[in-house]
Structure formats: structure tokens, C-alpha cells
Amino acid sequence: MNHDRSGGDALVCYCRAGFEPELAAELGERAATSGYAGYARTERGSGYVEFVTDDARALSRALPFAQLIFARQKLLRFADLRDLDPQDRIAPILAALDSSGMPRMFGELRVEHPESDAAKPLAALARSFGNALRPALRKAGWLTAQDDRGRPRLHVVFLAGDHAMLASAHPSDSSQWPLGIPRLRMHPSAPSRSALKLEEALLTLLDDGEREALLRDNMQAADLGAAPGGWTWVLMRNGMKVTSVDNGPLQQALLDSGRVDHLRADGFSWQPKRRLDWMVCDMVEQPRRVAERMATWIREDWCRQTIFNLKLPMKKRWDETRLCLELFEREAGRPMTIRARQLYHDREEITVFATPEA
């Protein structure tokens, strides 16, 4: 068994398979801006990126998970175990932990694999191995007797049957969901699968307190480019009264609810008569045009907060993401809280939450 520490510790982030170059570019630029030298190591389609630097722990502190856009999960890798013997993978893991200098103990164990076509056959191994490893870790003093969500998590990430990375993550600086993916089910009454995008955005981009404060009965909202009504449906289920703006048809059940007004108009030209609590937008349009229009809503104080999607081009997607967010912030002309992420239910796009600061 080869315990490879030649690259030192590394930052490891999961992403949507195929978006490794975008995540690598984001990590590289953010690291350089924070004053850290290093390099990204990945393969397209692998579903993860390693960023190797002299002080991965310090870099992790400099790059909070909440600020990363293309990362689904952020881990600090402290051991890379190769040539594992299928008859005994536990002993090398315990030995690596003992020599790692990591503080005892972990509050939770996750045995997983990247979300990629190549790694999916490892799912059964991850499940069964987790059941075997958990009691061994508790006996050795590396894992609390019961899950403790306040302590760091231990992640064992299988890249192959004989290759696993050991990594840690703190609950306050990582995704709470396995693989960084909230598994949401399509509701039978939802007009379209796009509803899952807004549901995930509300779960991922807002914290518990913000959801309680910002999603209340009888709030007033607008949905630009609403048809067939997936995002309108989510807002309505959160108790809001919605103006759905689209020249296309809406699902009849939304209109029958009494909480939705359908305006056949262009989302790029319509404006509300009074300030709304929410504006959401999932229009298929050039991302810079969307960013400019969203900035107008913030600048003119037409809404208190917004969630919108930016559809990315096929090339230079990190560059376009950065340019669009800079354009949005500049054109809005107001201090804002901005959070952006490529969600699991997104495709060639990112989702943005923004609200002016008091």
C-alpha cells in the first residue's frame, strides 16, 4: 500500500462532471487573489478538483465554501492512500489517521465517491465499507459514539477500489448534504422540473433564519419568464402572491389558485407599480443581458431580494461568470449581499441570490 503524501495536503472540491475546468479556474484565481501559490489537478469528467498549495489549511480558511460558485463541496485532503488491499482497507486508514496530526475526534463519517460516470460503480463499496469502518473508528477513538454535527466530519473518498483520499470538512464551512447534493423529489403538482432549481436555491443560498424571515405568507413576488410556472409554483407554495410575467401559457392549476396573476408581457421590459418582496427570473437569454436587467431591478428598488439564473456559454464559463457578476454589481450601484452557485439541478447555468444591504 502506497501512502502518498508527496503533494502535501490539498483542497478538494466536488463539482458537476464536465465543469472541472471552471472550478479549477475559479480556485486558481481566488487563491492567487488571496496571495496563495499553487496549482489545480483534475481530469475532465472526474467530478472533482484538487488544488495543491504549500498551506492548504490556510487557503481553505481564505476561500470560504459559501463564496465558491462551481464547488458542491469543499474538503481538506490530508492523506492519499493508493494500492489498498481489498482484504483490509481499514488498517491503512487507521494508520494514516494516527500519523496525520489531525485533532481527535470527528463527529461524523462519510464514505463517498465523486459524482461521475466513472465513479458511480463505487457506490456499493462506499455504503458497505462505511458500515465496517464506523465501529473501527469509534473503537480507535477517532469518531464520537453518536453523530456530533458540531465537530469536523471525516470523509473517505474512493476514487477506485484500491485508491481513497482521507479528508476533513467543518460543518460551518462545507455542504451539509452528502456529495454536496440535496436530493429533492419532483412534486406531482409541479408544472416543470425547473421548480427543483428554485427549491434548491432557497435551501442552499439562504440560511434557516433567512428562510424564516424572507419566505412569509402574503409576500408579493414576480416571476419573469414564468411559463409554464415552475418557479411561480414554488413561490406560491411558500405563501406568496405572484405576478407571473410571460407571453407563454401557465399551468391552469396555478391560475385557479387565486394567488397568481398572469401577465402576458416581456420580462425584460415589464416593471412593477410598487416595490415587491421578491423577483425571480429563469429566462433563457444572454447572461450579460439578464445581469443588466437584474441590476436595474435592484438599482430602481423594485424588489427587496432576487434569485435569478445566468445561462453560461459553452466556452470560458468561469470568465463569463465573473464578468456577469461584476456587471451586475456595478450596474446595481448599491452595496449588496450576493451569493452564487452552480446547483445540482442547474445545467449550463449558475443561480444567484442578491439583496441590497441596509
pLDDT, residue 358, reads 76
Predicted confidence (pLDDT) at residue 116 exceeds the cutoff of 90: yes
User: Which residues are within 8 A (CB) of 242 and not within 5 positions of it... i.e. 6 or more apart?
Assistant: 221, 222, 223, 226, 232, 235, 236, 259, 260, 261
pLDDT band at 61 (very low <50, low <70, confident <90, very high): very high
Mean pLDDT of 130-139: 96
CA distances from 358 to 159, 292, 304, 326 (A): 46, 22, 11, 20
pLDDT, residue 104, reads 86
Mean pLDDT of 154-181: 96
Backbone angles phi, psi at 129, to 5 degrees: -70, -35
pLDDT, residue 356, reads 94
pLDDT, residue 5, reads 40
Residue 230 annotated as binding site: yes
Residue 140 annotated as binding site: no
Mean pLDDT of 255-259: 92
* Strand ranges in 10-65 using DSSP code E only, listed in sequence order: 10-14, 38-41, 48-53
pLDDT, residue 141, reads 96
pLDDT, residue 146, reads 87
Specify whether the backbone of 200 is left (phi greater than 0), alpha (psi in -120 to 50) or beta: alpha
Residue 335 annotated as binding site: no
CA distance 211 to 66: 16
pLDDT, residue 279, reads 98
Report the candidate in 225, 205, 355, 358 with the shortest Cα–Cα distance to residue 277.
355
pTM for the predicted model, two decimal places: 0.93
Residue from 273, 311, 315, 316 carrying the catalytic annotation: 311
pLDDT band at 103 (very low <50, low <70, confident <90, very high): confident
pLDDT, residue 2, reads 53
- CA dihedral (97, 100, 106, 108) positive or negative: negative
Specify whether the backbone of 257 is left (phi greater than 0), alpha (psi in -120 to 50) or beta: alpha
Flag the least confident range among 6-15, 109-118, 334-343.
6-15
pLDDT, residue 6, reads 39
- CA dihedral (299, 305, 309, 310) positive or negative: positive
User: Which residues are within 8 A (CB) of 137 and not within 5 positions of it... i.e. 6 or more apart?
Assistant: 94, 106, 109, 143, 154
Pairing of strands 38-41, 48-53: antiparallel
User: Which residues are within 8 A (CB) of 15 and not within 5 positions of it... i.e. 6 or more apart?
Assistant: 22, 23, 47, 48, 49, 70, 71, 72, 342
Residue 229 annotated as binding site: yes
Q: How many CB atoms lie within 10 A of CB 83?
A: 11
pLDDT, residue 1, reads 54
CA distance 27 to 65: 11
Predicted confidence (pLDDT) at residue 281 exceeds the cutoff of 90: yes
In the annotation, is 197 catalytic?
A: no
Query: Quick one: what percent of the chain has pLDDT higher than 90?
Result: 92
Residue 313 annotated as binding site: no
Q: How many CB atoms lie within 10 A of CB 207?
A: 11
pLDDT, residue 8, reads 62
CA distance 232 to 225: 10
Three-state secondary-structure class, residue 246: coil
Q: How many CB atoms lie within 10 A of CB 326?
A: 11
Query: Per-residue pLDDT tens for 41-60?
Result: 999 999 999 999 999 999 99
CA distances from 268 to 240, 272, 290, 301, 354 (A): 22, 12, 8, 16, 18
pLDDT, residue 149, reads 84
What is the residue-averaged pLDDT of the chain? 94
Residue 38 annotated as binding site: no
CA distance 41 to 10: 10
Predicted confidence (pLDDT) at residue 152 exceeds the cutoff of 50: yes
Predicted confidence (pLDDT) at residue 7 exceeds the cutoff of 60: no
CA distance 182 to 88: 32
Residue 207 annotated as binding site: no
Domains and CATH numbers, the chain: 2-180 (3.30.2130.30), 194-356 (3.40.50.150)
CA distance 287 to 277: 23
CA distance 125 to 140: 22
